[in-house]
A and B are shown apart, each in its own frame.
Chain A
Amino acid sequence: MLRTNIIPLFVIIPLLSAFLISLLGKYLKRQFIYTVSNISCFLLLCFSLYGLNMLRNTGSNILVYKIGGWAPPFGICLVFDGLASFMLVVVNLIAFFVNIYSLGYIEKYTDKPKYFTLFFLMLTGMNGLIITGDLFNLYIFLEVASLASYALVAFGTDSEDLEASFKYAIMGSLASLFIFLGIAILYGFTSTLNMADMARIITEKTGSRLIPFVSVLFIVGFGTKAALMPFHAWLPDAHPAAPASISALLSGVLIKTLGIYALSRILFNVIGITSGISAILVFLGSLSMLVGVLLAFSQTDLKRLLAYSSISQVGYIILGIGLATPLGIFGGLFHLFNHSAIKSLLFLNAGAIDYAAGTRDLRQMSGLKEKMPVTANTSLVASLSVAGIPPFAGFFSKLVIILACIQKGYFGYAFIAVVSSIITLATFMKMQKFAFLGKLNEKYNNLQEVPRAMKFSMVALAVICVCGGLILLPGLNFFLSDAANVLLEGSRYAMKVFEAAK
């Protein structure tokens, strides 16, 4: 069996498990669903790590898989390069832990097979989007992931859930339509849908006014998916409404895959980034960084607070990537990895509190540390990390982004980044104080710590938060720098894909 054959497996495995769970889940015991979901998540994680290793061993750092045996411009090809493997590792790592967590958490809801089916469909969408090398295919998997997430947000079927989901669905579909318009115009311009071929043709036809217009369309579309500041309205409703495990996945990886990854892939590798576009990105990033954290500070609902904080952290990532310097992209991707782990952990903590104490209101809970030591400690780790306190991973990534700003001469933006980091610290200290410290509320005297499965994934994610900084070490550095290099290469991407496809 060829080694490249593992590439389509990233889509096949979750899709197959989704179909199987939906088909057989009704008849077999619950244990069956759990087994299938655990096995397939584990396999995905293994394959993504193996793929990372495999990529290191190939000379050109890029692998292309031709679906149906059609050569790139004619059929669809899957491209597996540094950035894709980086994102796959992030997505599948988080998904693995979230899956284990939801084994315990989902007891609160009815109809578990549907939950797991939708979970895997969302995973299919994200993995498919990451590895595809075809623009329209990207759109389709974007839709798969978005549709699954609309349904999952409404999974509780309370009126707030439904309303949040409707808002999310309307804004999300609007964003998709903008993306589709962008794709259509690009197709009319280049008469191809393959990303590599398109990049080749666009570099040949320079000086067109069409490209900035299309870039703006894509920024609006993917910016909405990533909840950048002017287009963020859906996120603070949608993320709290979803089940906590799904919020973790939505906030941790979905907005990054659908928004940031797709945007940077298209802007950098396909249509080529210009200084104007880069300035827009930096501005939007800083805006959402500052406003997001200010809004987060005033929230009393734990999950809404986390959701606003997500907007702010996405701002950091976009700021880093928008700088388009090697250091900036490196920092942005590093922060992407850290934030995935941190924010998933925080949402899982919120879910644990909701599961045990049955509330999300910060004013109602206090002194939970006594009863829920694991949740309290892991959440402390995550809070310190997201605020950027030195030994934790969040510190290093923010430092790199700020350094990159200074290096490029954007002192104002660097200052904003520092300020929002300080406000983030204040926000999370407030959260800690309300939730875990202080006197135990009498209502919660017979409170129990959450089931073992939930504890396990929280602890594991906390360990990742602590050790994330180790990625900067020279031996492990390749994980990030390979990914950053892909973006830096710009439209040379096209050449590499065609070479690898031969």
Chain B
Amino acid sequence: MTLLVKTASRLVVVLGLIFGIHIILHGHLAPGGGFAGGVIIALSFVLLILAFGKDAALSKLSLKLASNLENVGALLFLIIGLLGFWGGAFFLNILVKGSPFRLFSAGTIPLNNIVIGLKVGVGLFVIFLTLVILEKSKKEE
């Protein structure tokens, strides 16, 4: 890739990550949420691969760690649901609701958003990575 692309994508990746996190955190206040934010994060990693090749991306986040993180995300979501048993029902919203229009409100919803964002972001990255690695290893054969 050319220098121009590399420099630009370096900036965009950082912006993408920050934007994704913003969307995840404000999921209960503004449009967006865990899923959309997660995809944005995944996209910024995908951009990293496209611009710098897979080694650069892998040095930031290895495949094994990524798939483990994805697992942990899914597990945490289930655990948040299970915590509801403490309050009496599966997926009961147990935390204090807080006042609307604030960042820390709405009980478990932002937590769920964060966990889903983690899961989706890393998970989609894993999908892309396996596809890329497959193609690379095919060429080497």
On whether the beta carbons of A67 and B75 are closer than 8 Å, the reply is no
On whether the beta carbons of B91 and A15 are closer than 8 Å, the reply is no
**B74 proximal to A (CB < 8 A):** yes
**A12 proximal to B (CB < 8 A):** yes
The contact of B78 among A19, A26, A69, by CB within 8 Å, is A19
Given contacts A5-B85, A68-B84, contact A19 B92 (CB under 8 A): no
Residue among B68, B78, B88, B90 with most chain A CB within 10 A: B90
Provide the residues of chain A in CB contact with B105, threshold 8 Å.
none
Q: Say how far B132's CB is from chain A's closest CB, in angstroms.
A: 19
Q: 1/0 contact trace for A6-40 toward B, CB 8 Å?
A: 00100010011001101100100000000000000
Give chain B interface residues in 86-110, CB to chain A under 8 Å. Answer: 87-93
**B127 proximal to A (CB < 8 A):** no
**A66→B89 CA distance, assembly (Å):** 7
Q: 1/0 contact trace for B57-87 toward A, CB 8 Å?
A: 0000000100010011011001001101101
**A15→B82 CA distance, assembly (Å):** 12
**Closest residue on chain A to residue B89 by CB atoms:** A69
Residue among A20, A22, A26 with most chain B CB within 10 A: A22
**Closest residue on chain A to residue B76 by CB atoms:** A19
Provide the residues of chain B in CB contact with A66, threshold 8 Å.
89
On whether the beta carbons of B90 and A23 are closer than 8 Å, the reply is no
On whether the beta carbons of B89 and A68 are closer than 8 Å, the reply is yes
Provide the residues of chain A in CB contact with B82, threshold 8 Å.
12
On whether the beta carbons of A22 and B71 are closer than 8 Å, the reply is yes
**A475→B107 CA distance, assembly (Å):** 50
Provide the residues of chain B in CB contact with A20, threshold 8 Å.
75
The SS class assigned to the B binding surface is helix
**A12→B79 CA distance, assembly (Å):** 10
Give chain B interface residues in 7-39, CB to chain A under 8 Å. Answer: none
On whether the beta carbons of A19 and B90 are closer than 8 Å, the reply is no
On whether the beta carbons of A68 and B85 are closer than 8 Å, the reply is no
**A66→B84 CA distance, assembly (Å):** 12
Given contacts A15-B78, A16-B78, A68-B84, contact A23 B89 (CB under 8 A): no
Q: 1/0 contact trace for A63-104 toward B, CB 8 Å?
A: 001111100000000000000000000000000000000000
Provide the residues of chain A in CB contact with B74, threshold 8 Å.
19
Q: Say how far B8's CB is from chain A's closest CB, in angstroms.
A: 37
Provide the residues of chain B in CB contact with A69, threshold 8 Å.
87-89, 92
Given contacts A19-B74, A19-B78, contact A68 B91 (CB under 8 A): yes
On whether the beta carbons of B68 and A67 are closer than 8 Å, the reply is no
**A65→B91 CA distance, assembly (Å):** 12
Provide the residues of chain A in CB contact with B64, threshold 8 Å.
26
**A67→B88 CA distance, assembly (Å):** 10
On whether the beta carbons of B89 and A19 are closer than 8 Å, the reply is no
**A67→B74 CA distance, assembly (Å):** 19
Provide the residues of chain A in CB contact with B75, threshold 8 Å.
16, 19-20, 23
**Closest residue on chain B to residue A2 by CB atoms:** B88
**A15→B74 CA distance, assembly (Å):** 10
Residue among B87, B88, B89 with most chain A CB within 10 A: B89
**A408→B110 CA distance, assembly (Å):** 58
**A180→B106 CA distance, assembly (Å):** 31
On whether the beta carbons of B78 and A12 are closer than 8 Å, the reply is yes
**A5→B71 CA distance, assembly (Å):** 26
On whether the beta carbons of A23 and B88 are closer than 8 Å, the reply is no
On whether the beta carbons of B71 and A8 are closer than 8 Å, the reply is no
On whether the beta carbons of A68 and B78 are closer than 8 Å, the reply is no
The contact of B71 among A15, A23, A68, by CB within 8 Å, is A23
On whether the beta carbons of A68 and B72 are closer than 8 Å, the reply is no
**A65→B89 CA distance, assembly (Å):** 9
Provide the residues of chain A in CB contact with B93, threshold 8 Å.
68
**Closest residue on chain B to residue A20 by CB atoms:** B75
**A464→B2 CA distance, assembly (Å):** 68
Provide the residues of chain A in CB contact with B91, threshold 8 Å.
67-68
On whether the beta carbons of B90 and A67 are closer than 8 Å, the reply is yes
**A67→B84 CA distance, assembly (Å):** 9
**A22→B85 CA distance, assembly (Å):** 25
Provide the residues of chain B in CB contact with A22, threshold 8 Å.
71
**Closest residue on chain A to residue B67 by CB atoms:** A22
Provide the residues of chain B in CB contact with A8, threshold 8 Å.
90
Provide the residues of chain A in CB contact with B89, threshold 8 Å.
65-69
**Closest residue on chain B to residue A26 by CB atoms:** B64
Provide the residues of chain A in CB contact with B88, threshold 8 Å.
69
**A interface with B by C-beta (< 8 Å):** 5, 8, 12, 15-16, 19-20, 22-23, 26, 65-69
Q: A19-B71, A23-B75, A68-B93 are in contact. List 20 more A-B contacts (CB 8 A).
A: A5-B85, A12-B78, A12-B81, A12-B82, A12-B90, A15-B78, A20-B75, A23-B68, A23-B71, A23-B72, A26-B64, A65-B90, A67-B89, A67-B90, A67-B91, A68-B84, A68-B91, A68-B92, A69-B88, A69-B89
A–B complex contacts, Cβ < 8 Å, 9 sampled: A5-B85, A12-B78, A12-B82, A19-B75, A20-B75, A23-B68, A67-B90, A69-B88, A69-B89
**B interface with A by C-beta (< 8 Å):** 64, 68, 71-72, 74-75, 78, 81-82, 84-85, 87-93
The 7 closest A-B pairs by CB, nearest first: A23-B71, A68-B91, A8-B90, A69-B89, A19-B75, A69-B92, A67-B90
